[in-house]
Structure 1
Amino acid sequence: MGRLFGTDGVRGLANGELTADLALGLGEAAARVLVDTVDRGGRRPLAVVGRDTRISGQFLEHAVVAGLASAGVDVLRLRVVPTPGVAYLTDLLDADLGVVISASHNPMPDNGIKFLARGGVKLDDAVERAIEAAMDAAPLRPTGADVGRVTKYAGTADDYADHLLSTLDGGHARPLEGLTVVLDCAHGAAHEVGPAVLSAAGATVIAIGDRPDGLNINDGCGSTHLEPLRAAVLEHGADVGIAVDGDADRCLAVDATGAVVDGDQILAVLALGLHEAGRLADDTLVVTVMSNLGLHLAMKDAGVQVVQTAVGDRYVLEAMKVGGYSLGGEQSGHVILSDHATTGDGLLTALHLLQRMRATGRTLADLAGVVTRLPQVLVNVRGVDKTRADDEKVLAAVALEEAALGETGRVLLRPSGTEPVVRVMVEAPTHDVAQGVADRLAEVVRERLAL
């Protein structure tokens, strides 16, 4: 079996690359690798399985469940629930593993299967390789009373909602009273629990993107398409707009004027709040190399250290775990509040962002203004050998441009992890300066790394 797992589980065209047969095999293999074989005191192995609203999630869920149960694992079907809800319930219910059927922000024809280990944590590369290897082994075939039982779990939405509310200061004391919020649910997994949680916290909620039909998830809505959210915020005169993606593990926002507030700005608002309260572990924020320089400068001014990782929330999570840090995330809206969650959680992020607005009495535009975003230009250079991105003359050209920018900008040149391209990202005081630097470096890359 070749490499199946990408940066976030196994993804592909549903019923194309990602078939029911593959899903069943993955369920069997994951049972073999992730189910703890030590004594549980007589307790049977247990998995929880949740999905987003894609129509293909129905057959893929049944296939994964069949694989798990055929390997002797009892399964609790969570049905439609955000990815972070599956992570939370994996831990709450002391399950041996969790499974999410979702392709996150991808369009509807795609789907994916993601596994979580005990405690609701993402798998490391070694465990993913072990699952892939187990796909080639003879499957487990218990019989009689040893096959798994499959049950619907009735408490999915209530348990997850209660957890989210419990993370707020004052718990269930309606700390968002007085805020009018537009919430774009992306016709995805948060379409019911999202509006319910914000309402329970005291906000007046105007929900959009809350009518999934199995086909419209992420379709012109949610965190990847903010235009409907901006229009709704302005139409209703709302204080703020919140957009999650199809599986609700990321969150972006729009202020009352319709201006977009990205993940970097959300991280800054949350970091400063935790810093002031003495709850930002080691006074450190974890971000990826793609975060805007404006965030770094704002954190430096506030006395907050910044740790950088490679692109991908899994790398942010790894750095947070190693350093014991409490806040990290990406410009795309993946925000990890490790005191409350094991993964990015769009609804959790929204609640804490809105709580910061109410606690300070400030608008989101005012709070987010702490970050002055520098113009950022990204050029993808194709038709080159990305394995030679450390070419001496390429690196010399980068160093020359960095020296010219000084502290007013930065350059990031890296080979893509998913495409045959070299990415050149430049931040500078103006867009024209950034574009000029990026174009010059892209030309050097084309000349030096030509195939």
Structure 2
Amino acid sequence: MAKLFGTDGIRGEAYAPPLDRATVQHVGRALANELSPDAPRILIGRDTRSSGADLENWLATGIAASGGTSVFAGVLPTPAVAFLTRDQGFDAGVVISASHNPYHDNGIKVFSASGVKSSEAFEEAIELALSVAGAGAPEVPEESGLSKTPSLHFESLYLEHLKQSLGDDVSLPPLKLALDCANGACYRVGPKLLESIGLEPILLATEPDGENINRDCGSTHLDGLAEAVRRHACDFGAALDGDGDRLLLLDSTGRSVNGDAMLLMCARRLKKEGRLTGSGVVATVMSNMALEVSLAQEDITLYRTQVGDKFVAQDMDRRNIIIGGEQSGHIIFSDYAATGDGLLTLMQVLRTIAIERDTLDRLAELDPFPQVLVNVSVSSRPDVRTVPEITQAIEAAEAQLDGRGRVLIRYSGTEPLLRIMMEGPDSEEIESLTATVRDAVESTIGSSRD
């Protein structure tokens, strides 16, 4: 069987392999078998996609066939399932979600008992089990794994966890905030959280219908939020993605505040509080050079990892650092959680605003180096270093930049795309260099050649 797990679990079009009934049931069986021979308890949550309930039941059917027990959390953000898995003593947690993808896609994310994303070794063991099992649905009782009504107790536990992260000593100033929940997993808990701390947010995208998750809303579509921020004269706006593990902000003018700016403002606050262990922040190779320079001015070191919040989490743990994240808005505060959490990040932003007695507009000031990111659809995924035309274009760009910028080429972990990122002091220069590399990719491995 082909590799199932990408950088963020299993992902694809719902009802088609690998998210067809037989494969998902096999995944459930393999998951339970790999966890423990003694009836593991597995917490399952999902987002608002119309396919979620079917995949949830198929997975639970497979888990039951191997003697495991599925406990249904219902619609909850991915980080809620990660937190509850650890907090409530489950053997594993699973989220049925495709994050920021459109509704017709879905996915399976697995978390260990400690609430972190499953290791590559664990995922490879599941893949091996499926390759041995072969095609066809496993033999399971038809009635096993049927979903039960989830308890709202899980939601309450998660909300209390988020509220505690704000701190009892923090008094929020009067704030007008717009919140976009992407018609996704945060559509209930997001508004409840803000109302519980005394805010009355302007709400957007809180009416999921199974097909409108991420559609023209959420962290990948900020135009509607920007309009709301300006129309209602908000202090700032907050946008979550479909499964609630990332957050992007807009200041009072509608200017985007990405993960880099949030890392900077929160790291500064943590250092003032004497809580910034390791005097460092972990980010990925995608973070702008301006973040590195600004942190250095505060005597804070930026450490970079490959793209993926699970790699950020691993490096944070290795270096004993409590804050890290991605430019895309996956931010990890390891004092409170083992994974990226959009609502937890929002609580930490609010905490910083309250303690600093300042506005997001000023606290999140970060003048980024010009950066160009281009996605090229590809028909294959060879090592780019083995394609002479691409290698030559990259080397020419690096030679011209001569240390003044960066060139980064990587494949998407979830889509048939090659991502080209360039950064440098002159926007026209890097746009031209990016176009040269893009042309080399399109002419050699681009899907438009087919």
TM-score (norm. length: structure 1): 0.89
Q: Does 1:32 align with 2:33?
A: yes
Letter in 2 for 1:64: L
Aligned CA-pair RMSD: 3.0
Q: Does 1:300 align with 2:296?
A: yes
Q: Does 1:47 align with 2:42?
A: yes
Answer whether contact 1:248 1:346 (CA < 8 A) is retained.
yes
Answer whether contact 1:384 1:449 (CA < 8 A) is retained.
yes
Q: Which residue in 1 is equivalent to 2:316?
A: 320
Measure how far apart 1:360 and its partner are: 1.1
Q: Which of 192, 202, 206 is equivalent to 1:206?
A: 202
When structure 1 is superposed on structure 2, of 205-214 and 64-73 the one drifting more is: 64-73
Q: Which residue in 2 is equivalent to 1:102?
A: 97
Measure how far apart 1:378 and its partner are: 3.0
| Matched ranges for 1:144-159 at <5 A | 152-159=150-157
CA distance in structure 1 between the partners assigned to 2:381 and 2:63 by the alignment: 42
The superposition leaves residues 387-414 of structure 1 with CA deviations (integer Å, 9 ceiling, x where unpaired) of 2427799768756654654564322244
Letter in 2 for 1:437: L
The superposition leaves residues 198-247 of structure 1 with CA deviations (integer Å, 9 ceiling, x where unpaired) of 22122231111111111111010000100111011111111110000011
The superposition leaves residues 349-377 of structure 1 with CA deviations (integer Å, 9 ceiling, x where unpaired) of 011112211211221121111x2111112
Measure how far apart 1:444 and its partner are: 6.9
Q: Does 1:75 align with 2:70?
A: yes
Letter in 2 for 1:22: T
1:140–1:79 distance in 2 versus 1, CA, 3 Å: same
When structure 1 is superposed on structure 2, of 14-23 and 298-307 the one drifting more is: 14-23
* Structure 2 stretches lacking a partner, 5+ long: none
The superposition leaves residues 384-443 of structure 1 with CA deviations (integer Å, 9 ceiling, x where unpaired) of 984242779976875665465456432224466567765442212231121133345556
Q: Which residue in 1 is equivalent to 2:8?
A: 8
Answer whether contact 2:61 2:145 (CA < 8 A) is retained.
no
Secondary structure of the residue aligned to 1:121 is: coil
When structure 1 is superposed on structure 2, of 266-275 and 341-350 the one drifting more is: 266-275
CA distance in structure 1 between the partners assigned to 2:242 and 2:443 by the alignment: 41
CA distance in structure 1 between the partners assigned to 2:374 and 2:202 by the alignment: 38
| Matched ranges for 1:97-176 at <5 A | 97-135=92-130, 136-137=132-133, 152-170=150-168, 175-176=171-172
Measure how far apart 1:270 and its partner are: 1.2
Answer whether contact 1:177 1:201 (CA < 8 A) is retained.
no
CA distance in structure 2 between the partners assigned to 1:25 and 1:384 by the alignment: 28
Letter in 1 for 2:211: L
Q: Which residue in 1 is equivalent to 2:268?
A: 272
Q: Which residue in 2 is equivalent to 1:41?
A: none
| Matched ranges for 1:381-400 at <5 A | 386-389=382-385
CA distance in structure 2 between the partners assigned to 1:67 and 1:383 by the alignment: 34
Secondary structure of the residue aligned to 1:232 is: helix
Measure how far apart 1:19 and its partner are: 1.7
Answer whether contact 2:190 2:343 (CA < 8 A) is retained.
yes
Answer whether contact 1:290 1:311 (CA < 8 A) is retained.
yes
Answer whether contact 1:186 1:221 (CA < 8 A) is retained.
yes
CA distance in structure 1 between the partners assigned to 2:389 and 2:14 by the alignment: 44
Secondary structure of the residue aligned to 1:166 is: helix
The superposition leaves residues 45-70 of structure 1 with CA deviations (integer Å, 9 ceiling, x where unpaired) of 31111111111101111111222223
Identity across matched positions, percent: 41
Q: Does 1:249 align with 2:245?
A: yes
CA distance in structure 2 between the partners assigned to 1:243 and 1:147 by the alignment: 34
1:206–1:418 distance in 2 versus 1, CA, 3 Å: closer
Answer whether contact 2:62 2:145 (CA < 8 A) is retained.
no
CA distance in structure 2 between the partners assigned to 1:2 and 1:401 by the alignment: 35
Aligned residues: 440
TM-score (norm. length: structure 2): 0.89
Q: Which of 59, 71, 93 is equivalent to 1:64?
A: 59
